[in-house]
Amino acid sequence: MTKFQYRALKNNKEFVKGEVEASSLREAREKIRLLGFIPTKIYVEEYSKSSSVSNSSGSNAQSSKKDINFLSLKDKISFTSELEVLLSSGISILEALEVLEINSPSMNIKSICTTLKHKIMGGMTFAQALEESYGRVFGPVYTSLMRAGEDSGQLEDTLMHMLIFLRKQDDIKSKVIRASIYPAILLLLMFGVLLLFSKVIFPAFYGVIAFSGGTVPFFAQILINLCTFVGNFWWLILIAFGALSYIISKMLKKPSIKSKWDNFILSVPVVSDFIKYINLSNYITVLQISYDAGLPIMSGLELSEKTLGNIVMKKQACSTTSFAKKGKSLTESFQMSQLIPGALMTMIATGEKSGSLGKMLKDAADVIDKKVDMALDAVLRLFEPTIIVIMGGFVLFIAVAFYQLYAGMLGSLF
């Protein structure tokens, strides 16, 4: 048996030192935990070698720390889900972070857990550590809700609600990506057909016509020039497309231009419903989570504003908050700002009067989620025929040009 010296955290507040006898480092760690302590350092005194066990296997944890400026939505879902499960099992936040650091396959999550653990051991709460170290990574909505949940003693429930919110965002994102695959494939096919015609088919016909001194028909000439340009300058097209996308993204960051664009989008039939319901889904969900976490309704409204990406709707949300600050009820504030559709106002008004606002907000969020699915289906039903019409026009143009070219070739031979 070897005598191990240890330094551990007692009641998540104070550090204690001691000694245990064990045959291995793992056994020593288990014995320290049985004492009700969370080991942060275990070492054999005679060799003056230490091995930190807080959140990882010692120095490897420190060396794995790195600056993180971005965390994917999948990683946020993984972090939130696993942390919620571990805390619900009854273990402390430090032990939960340690388990995550050791077992998570994501190096970003490992690094985050390492940093958060050391901050908490230094006296911070989980929410304080998260906001100070990774406020920009997780965003103000996430960190504010974590602070509210921790202050109210409902961190596990808040994590569960946040997980639902993140999964909802991921589901919408996946649906939009799946909807974009079909037109993307069609565009690639159009590009491939142009290259094929420009490199293989048209040169053969064009050579015969030129050799016999014939003239190339109008549509055929346009298509030949287009195919030649695409074949020779495809790289320039890609650069132009990238530059145009960059310029548009920069322009849309300007409030004046973004406001006009958002207002235009909300005036487009079918598409406007999809944009409205996506924004409302995030807004109502965060409002419901913040209310259940114990935040004052005013703070919940201010927090929910940050989820809105459409400037027009964000102005309506700001008006809602302003009316509420002036003493209006939540229902009256929504009615005056016209942010919430009339069909949902009855649910919110009933919840406000009966004292079951949290439940009614959740029901309203569920209704809006169904509206999002319906609006997305409507957009897809409109989008697919549009793509087919565009492809049909493209094929018709090629067919007419090819027919003229073929007829011109035959005319030059006879």
The answer to whether residues 328 and 336 touch, using CB atoms and an 8 Å cutoff, is: yes
Who contacts 108 (Cβ-Cβ below 8 Å, separation ≥6)?
68, 71, 75
Please determine whether the domains at 61-153 and 268-376 fall in the same fold group of CATH. yes
Fold of 61-153: Receptor-associated Protein (1.20.81)
Q: Which residue has the tokens 């400026």?
A: 69
Distance CA 232, CA 212 (A): 26
Summarised one tens digit per residue, pLDDT across range 27-41 is: 877 788 788 777 666
Provide the pLDDT confidence category of residue 350 given band limits of 50, 70 and 90: confident
Identify the three-state secondary structure at position 14.
strand
> With 60 as the cut, is the pLDDT of residue 215 above it?
yes
* Residue 413: per-residue pLDDT: 61
* Residue 198: per-residue pLDDT: 66
Provide the pLDDT confidence category of residue 210 given band limits of 50, 70 and 90: low
Distance CA 154, CA 85 (A): 14
Q: How far is CA 38 from the centre of its chain?
A: 35
Range picked from 3-7, 61-65, 189-193, 353-357 for highest mean pLDDT: 353-357
Provide the pLDDT confidence category of residue 100 given band limits of 50, 70 and 90: confident
Provide the pLDDT confidence category of residue 61 given band limits of 50, 70 and 90: very low
Q: How many CB atoms lie within 10 A of CB 326?
A: 10
Give the single-character DSSP code of 7: E
Fold of 268-376: Receptor-associated Protein (1.20.81)
Summarised one tens digit per residue, pLDDT across range 259-306 is: 899 889 888 888 888 889 888 988 988 888 888 878 888 888 988 888
Q: How many CB atoms lie within 10 A of CB 126?
A: 22
Domain ranges of the chain: 2-53, 61-153, 181-264+387-413, 268-376
* Residue 306: per-residue pLDDT: 86
* The pTM of the whole model exceeds 0.85: no
